[in-house]
Every structure is written in C-alpha cells, then in structure tokens.
Structure 1
Amino acid sequence: MWGSMLLPPPKTSSSEFIPFCRKMESGSRFYSGDEFRLDSKWLVDPKHLFVGPRIGEGAHAKVYEGKYKNQTVAIKVLHKGETPEEITKRQGRFAREVEMLSRVQHKNLVKFIGACMEPVMVIVTELLLGGTLRKYCLNMRPRCLDTRVAVGFALDIARAMECLHSHGIIHRDLKPENLLLTADHKTVKLADFGLAREESLTEMMTAETGTYRWMAPELYSTVTLRQGEKKHYNHKVDAYSFAIVLWELLHNKLPFEGMSNLQAAYAAAFKNVRPSADNLPEELNLILTSCWQEDANARPNFSQIIQMLLDYLYTIAPPEPAIPSRIFTENTVLPPESPGTSSLMAVRDDGGTPKAQTEDEPKGFFFCFKQCY
C-alpha cells in the first residue's frame, strides 16, 4: 500500500508502474470543485494514475513517465511549497498553467490530458519519447544540424508561439529544455507553461522572469528593482528568446559560450551583446538580428517570422513545378513525340514492361513540404 504522497520510481524496473496514491480514507477527497475550477472533462482521477520512472526535474516540479487509464503519459508533479505565502503562490501558478493548457490546442503544443489538485498538484500531458531539444542537440555535438532540419524545427516553434500569442498568452520561458521532440525526431512541441501569463492583464508583470541566458533585455532594469516590484513588457520577449534558440539550432553551441548565466544576461541587457550572426545566409542573419533587437517594438511578430522562415526554405529547396492540370483532361491527345508525353507514360523496367509507380517512390519536394509543414 502506498501513502497519499508521490513515491519515488521503483529501482528494480523502469518499466514498472506504481499506484499514484492509495485509496483515500473515508472523509478524504481527491479534489474540490470550489478550489479547482476546471471543466470536469479535464479532471484527472488519481485512482487511475500510475507512476513510473522520473524523466525530468526543475525548480518547481518533477516529471514522471506514467499511465492514465492505460494511456502512457507524462505526469508533472508541482512542489507544494513550505510557507503559506509560497503555497498560495504555487497554487496560483498551477491554476494559470492548467487554465492555459486546457484553453489552447495546437499540433506544436504538448497535448493536455488533465489535472488534479489532490493529493498533490498534478498536470498530465502526452508523453513525447524524443526527449528535449537540449538533449537532442547535445547528442549531435560537435556536428551541426542539417540546415533544413534546424529551420524545420524553428518553424514548429514559431507556429506554437504564434498560436499562444493569438490567444493573448506570453510564454516567457522559451528555451531548448522546454521544447520536446516526437519519437521520430521530426516534430517539435512546446511544453511547460509554468511561467506563461495573460498579456492582457492590467497589472504589471514580474521582472527577471525566465531563464537568464534566453531572457529578453527588457526583463531587466538599469535600476535594481525592489523585491516584488513590477515592470511592463509584452509578447515580444518571446521573439528574443526564439532568436537565441534559433541561433542554437543553426550552430549547435551554447549561446554566450564561456559566460555564466548571469554574465550572459548582463552582457545582453546592458552591453547589447548578442551571439555572432556572421557566416550565416543573409536571410537567416536578418531573422536573428531582427528578433533580438534591443527595441522590442522593432522585433517581428511570429506570423512574420514564419513567413521569413518559409521564404528561406524556398530558396534552399524550391518546390518542383506542378504539371499543368489541363494535360490530364479526358479529351487531351498528344503527338507521339510531344514534350510531356513521357510524363504520362508508365515507368518501364529493363525488359520494356510498364511498371506501376509504387507508394514509396519519391513524390517530389512539394508533396513532402505540404506533408511536413
């Protein structure tokens, strides 16, 4: 039998799952509708939740592989906090994250399955077996990613951010650790909404929020802020972070290498230092330098970023021209040696026998482009 708190994963077998909690004693509860206001379809019943090995840990939560109603999932368990003030703050953060996850769905956002607040605060999402973008890049070093792969990943990230911003949400913590890959390593999804906030809130938002190396300069102040003091910024902080992530994808190096996190943040905020964009194609150089401009208002939005990335992809791998549809009309008759006749003839093998085109033969870049993007 297990206690009401989460147990560490078993040491004997990583594939073994244990019950999240034992049956609660009479009078106890799993969650309260008054405390946790979420549509009932998103409420997770802890009795059907099983926990496996731990797969990640941060300052505010631990993440485990698990199962929920026979579905393999990721289980994020948020730390409760020690003091009443800390508990209240973390409950508020939990509620915001769950509300945003349940409201926004996109193919490049991690899929939300549900949440519960008792016996501990838990968020359940799909499990992405490809690991983090950080781990993927580290495994590639010292080699760089193929440029088309790097730009393809950047497009996935930009589309996720465009979706969030269209719903008035700022992520505020865009970095490789919060980007997850599918098992086939072909798609990137954005995760961890723990620091995400509504941009439309009338209150000023907390400064120095995020991870130093990827934080936008406006998250700092030339005058040290007193504890709890607020300052204003907008969704363009995510464009800056995106530029740093894109730089990493293109170089497969840590940005501001040789500096500590604080030194990198200071250099970016107070000396306008950026990673070098030299030796990059002009189009990619423009994307980077425009996204990490010191003036946040001069940075492009993610719709513009997506278009710039697509334009660059077109220059390095333009789609094949489509055959005019008119040659496929029923009444079309082509002379025996007419240009284009061969395109309508079956492919022949060495013996001259017509050979049907198979499903797995190449269909051209344009077909693949539409499938991937």
Structure 2
Amino acid sequence: MSCSYNNSREGRESEFEQHSVLRKSVDSEPKSVSQNGSISSPQLSIDDNLLVDPKLLLIRSKIGEGAHGRVYEGRYGDQIVAVKVLNPGSTPEEKAALESRFAREVNMMSRVKHENLVKFIGACKDPLMVIVTELLPGMSLRKYLVGIRPKLLDLHVAIKFALDIARAMECLHAHGIIHRDLKPDNLLLTANQRSVKLADFGLAREESVTEMMTAETGTYRWMAPELYSTVTLRQGEKKHYNNKVDVYSFGIVLWELLTNRMPFEGMSNLQAAYAAAFKQERPSLPEDVFPDLAFIVQSCWVEDPNMRPSFSQVIRMLNTFLFTLPPPSHSISDPDSNNSATTSNRTLTLSSAPVKGKFSFLRQLFAARRTRHSQ
C-alpha cells in the first residue's frame, strides 16, 4: 500500500483539445462573483501546476450537495470527473474564509496519493472555485448500507472496508493531516463495490502541536468528545485536539459496518453530541460481536484521546483479527452475491493462540497507558 506525495501533473493540459468550453453551473444557479468573474484573493496560494484550464472543463448533472458547495458529474478532456463547485460567499469576510478553505483543501488533496483516497486531478480559481477529482461510479458507503438494511455486511467485507478506511487515514496522518469529517457519507465505493475511498477534505487541517484549531467541526454523530466543551464554544473559537479525533470517528464508522445501524438512533444530532461528550455514552455493541473485534471498536472511541490507538495499530489489529476468520464460502468480491450481506455472522469462536497473544499484548499496552494517565 503506497502512500506518497503527488507532485506531478502528468502533462494534463497538453493532452486535451482547445475547442472544449466551460459550461456555466447547471440549473441556472446564482453566482456571487465580481463583475469580471474574478475570485482571486491574497489569501489564495495555489501552485499554478495544480490548476486546470476551465475552458477544457464541462459541468453536467448535479450528483450531490453539501454545506459548502455542490458536486457535479463532468468531463475534463477525455476523463469523466467529479466537479466540486464551492460556494463563493455573500460577504467579504465569508468570501475570504471560503477562499482560504478552498486553497487549503486543494493543497492538501494534491499532497497525498493513496489507492484509498479519491484521486485529485486539479482545481480552478476563476470564474468559480472548483475542485476536480476522479469520479467513482459507485455510491457512498452510507447509501450502500441503507440499501441493504436490515441485513448486515458479510464480516469479511466489513473488515475489508474498515482496512481501506484505516489505510487512507494512516496515509493522511503520516503527512500531518487531520480529516475531521470521517463518516460514511464521505466514503465512496468503487464501481465493483470491492473497495472504499475517502473523499471530501473540506474540513481537513494540518496538525500542529502548538497550534489550536477551530471547534465544532465535522458531523455531530461522528465527532470526538474533545471537540466539545462544558461551555459550548462559539463557531470559530479555538481549542486543542489532535489526530485522535479521526480515530474516534473511525470507531463509530466501524461500529456501523458491523451493525448497519445509525449511531445514536432515536436521538437528534445535538442529543447525540451531548450523550457522547458529557454522558460518555457510545452506541451499543451487539452481544454476538467477537470480543476482540469489540475491543478494537471500544479502544478507538475511548474517552481519553491518548488512549486511542494509531491507525497503524488499528490496521495491525484488524489484519490479525481477519487472520482468525475462516475463508468465506463465496467470493466477497461479487457485489451481486446474495451472501454479501447476512442477518448474523458474529458468533464464530477465535481459536488462534498466537492471535490471542497479540491482542493480549495490545490490551496490556492500553492498560498501562490508562494507569499512567490516571496517576
């Protein structure tokens, strides 16, 4: 699994013909841009090598929408792509903040390359703030899970998806990037539904030990408790946290892969946030979940961030657990297989002594950490 910087542009602009045109955003959406169409700002600092020619970009049907922009299917030369058009902002202050967010997202997406991260293709600053990435024809993990309910994922598939996510996050953390919005909506399945890729760096930040970051980021049901405080922070206020907020979110996502349920069912978003942060509540694990798998989940969402494992440790634990499972009786790579989901398959017995020893060592490691922090 390679995780590397991506500095090449692969000669993109020389490969395409000049007769293509940039279509305006579809559905006649209003655009808050200056009369000359420029959105340039001193805060924008994007290398020219990361920019694509807007004249070569075609924007087609809308495929998604979020708080900060819309996503369209499009074409760049001979590539079918996803085109994220960011909101321009309605006031000078909002415009400056959105431009800064845009530049940060572009720079971070262009820095890292991994098979489980959506591939960055390029960006435009004029006439709109646009990020172009590969288009995955598969659906989001959220939509996929909802589509198979009340059935559960085959356990091998669930662990395979979890490993894809953990490897993507390990790559980001290795480059000092905190995603801060890890959830099934930002995880996209490949066309054959065999792999998952992480998308949407809109809330990602570079981690710094001495720098504080804005609070109340991400989505409530997946947010780590340390992103809240006893006194609610106003938007834009700062507080300390580190990349272990992503590990907490991963624990919630792993729970969803195993249970195919919405975390904190029956609660509003704010009720879920309060329950996690101030009552130390977590989604309940079914009784038939493997004890060692339950340990992985619980170690990820433990209250103390310093007690949570790194993604390297998560990957080792998941691989070790996967080694204990008997091989699937069918091909898990077949998305049409009726056996790709099941009503219950969590009751097998772990019998590998070496594997139990590895988990025992990890439990002792976390127990030692807990003892040190309680002193």
TM range (shorter): 0.7 to 0.9
1:211 to partner: Cα distance: 0.2
Does residue 290 of the first structure (1) align with residue 309 of the second (2)?
A: no
User: Which string of whole-angstrom CA distances, capped at 9 and with x for unpartnered residues, describes residues 330-371 of structure 1?
Assistant: xxxxxxxxxxxxxxxxxxxxxxxxxxxxxxxxxxxxxxxxxx
Counterpart residue number, 2:313: 304
After superposing the two structures, state which structure 1 stretch, 221-230 or 171-180, moved more: 221-230
Q: Report the residue type matching 1:85 in the other structure.
A: E
Q: Report the residue type matching 2:165 in the other structure.
A: I
Aligned with 2:85 (options 77, 86, 89): 77
Q: How does 1:1-373 map to 2 (within 5 A)?
A: 5-8=24-27, 36-200=44-208, 202-279=210-287, 280-317=289-326
User: Which string of whole-angstrom CA distances, capped at 9 and with x for unpartnered residues, describes residues 210-266 of structure 1?
Assistant: 100000000000123245321100000000000000000111110111111111110
User: Which string of whole-angstrom CA distances, capped at 9 and with x for unpartnered residues, describes residues 152-206 of structure 1?
Assistant: 0000000000000000000000000000010000010000000000112743111
Q: Report the residue type matching 2:97 in the other structure.
A: K
2:159 is paired with a residue whose SS is helix
Q: Report the residue type matching 1:276 in the other structure.
A: S
d(CA) in 2 for partners of 1:43, 1:31: 14
d(CA) in 1 for partners of 2:239, 2:300: 21
Q: Report the residue type matching 1:284 in the other structure.
A: L
1:283 to partner: Cα distance: 1.3
1:282 to partner: Cα distance: 1.0
d(CA) in 2 for partners of 1:249, 1:317: 19
Q: Report the residue type matching 1:125 in the other structure.
A: T
Q: Report the residue type matching 2:106 in the other structure.
A: V
1:7 to partner: Cα distance: 2.5
* Alignment size in residue pairs: 303
Structure 2: gaps of 5 or more residues: 1-20, 329-375
Q: Report the residue type matching 2:324 in the other structure.
A: T
d(CA) in 1 for partners of 2:273, 2:24: 38
2:67 is paired with a residue whose SS is coil
User: 1:162·1:302 contact (CA, 8 Å) conserved in 2?
Assistant: yes
d(CA) in 1 for partners of 2:137, 2:235: 40
User: 2:23·2:57 contact (CA, 8 Å) conserved in 1?
Assistant: no
User: 1:213·1:265 contact (CA, 8 Å) conserved in 2?
Assistant: yes
2:152 is paired with a residue whose SS is coil
Counterpart residue number, 2:332: none
User: 1:277·1:289 contact (CA, 8 Å) conserved in 2?
Assistant: no
d(CA) in 2 for partners of 1:152, 1:3: 39
Which TM-score applies when normalising by structure 2?
0.77
User: 1:9·1:54 contact (CA, 8 Å) conserved in 2?
Assistant: no
d(CA) in 1 for partners of 2:134, 2:87: 20
CA spacing shift, 1:48–1:315, aligned 2, 3 Å: same
After superposing the two structures, state which structure 1 stretch, 33-42 or 173-182, moved more: 33-42
d(CA) in 1 for partners of 2:198, 2:284: 26
1:6 to partner: Cα distance: 1.7
d(CA) in 1 for partners of 2:132, 2:305: 34
Q: Report the residue type matching 2:291 in the other structure.
A: E
Which TM-score applies when normalising by structure 1?
0.77
d(CA) in 2 for partners of 1:268, 1:217: 6
d(CA) in 2 for partners of 1:180, 1:153: 10
d(CA) in 1 for partners of 2:45, 2:305: 35
d(CA) in 2 for partners of 1:35, 1:72: 31
CA spacing shift, 1:121–1:177, aligned 2, 3 Å: same
User: 1:61·1:79 contact (CA, 8 Å) conserved in 2?
Assistant: yes
d(CA) in 1 for partners of 2:319, 2:202: 30
d(CA) in 1 for partners of 2:23, 2:96: 21
